[in-house]
Amino acid sequence: MITEEKKQTIKLIVAVAILSLILILVAMLMIKYNVEGEKNMPFKLSKIVVISTAEGLEKENSKTKWDFDIYQNNDVYFYIDSNTDDENLLIKSVKIDNINVTKAPQKGTVKAYMPNSEGNRLYSIEDKFVVDEKLEYKGASQSSYTNLEIGSKGGTTWISFNNMGIGNYTSDDDTQIVHDGTWLKKLNISKEEVEFSVSFDYTIETTKNKYKANITLDFPTGDIASNGSGYLEKTDMEDIVFKREK
């Protein structure tokens, strides 16, 4: 015959077992979320495009015919698509911040640039366009790099990661100058010497929630010294984990 004391002990054991099972399930869900992140975001990062090349900044008042400071540039395009039928759910802003050079190049200094809001070129190498802390795009009717806006139902954001001051080129003999990745050959610089990596936070804020992921990219892409430019299109986002911000 089971005594009342034994009944209470059995109830306690069962309660502890159920509680332990619940805690284990919660822990497993938390681990799964930390690894996989949000799986059904209303707006998703669908594609990242990187275009790498090199350019020269002409020096003023030089006594030689051609005198350029050479930099290696990597223009990055982020494409965000709508993943919701809710017409009232919109993108409020997209922010790029916490930029860190995780692998420094052997030659040059890495700087991030925002799009040019004044001229016809997408980027202008001026100090006022350097991204020091963050680059933020506000939600609007459509994407606009000149106004730093992204379409509220999806669109594109831009940033350029440049390796500045990789070398200087002077010549009185050249009849024509081509501004592309072949600058590296002219300067006898290998791709390995200008390779670098950056990490940054990419935050999509909607009218309901905010989602943030840390992204790491390696530059430059492709054999720019031989081909002049390199192109990368990334559509597999399994390594980019978005989590909901409080």
Q: Name the percent of the chain in helix, strand, coil, to the closest 5.
A: 20, 45, 35
Average pLDDT over residues 228-236: 97
pLDDT band at 35 (very low <50, low <70, confident <90, very high): very low
pLDDT (tens digit per residue) in 82-94? 999 899 999 999 9
Supply the DSSP string of 204-232, one letter for each residue: EEESS-EEEEEEEEEE--S-HHHHS-EEE
Burial of 69 (0-12, 13-18, 19+ CB in 10 A): middle
Q: What is the pLDDT of residue 221?
A: 97
Q: pLDDT tens across 109-152, in order?
A: 999 999 998 877 899 999 999 999 899 999 999 999 999 999 99
Residue 27 has pLDDT above 60, yes or no: no
Given a cut of 80, whether residue 11 has pLDDT beyond it is: no
User: Is 36's pLDDT higher than 60?
Assistant: no
* Tokens 């795009």 sit on residue: 137
129: exposed, middle or buried (C-beta count within 10 Å: 0-12, 13-18, 19+)?
Answer: middle
pTM attached to this predicted model: 0.85
Q: What is the mean pLDDT of residues 70-77?
A: 98
Q: Kindly list the domain boundaries of the chain, sorted by start residue.
A: 1-36, 41-245
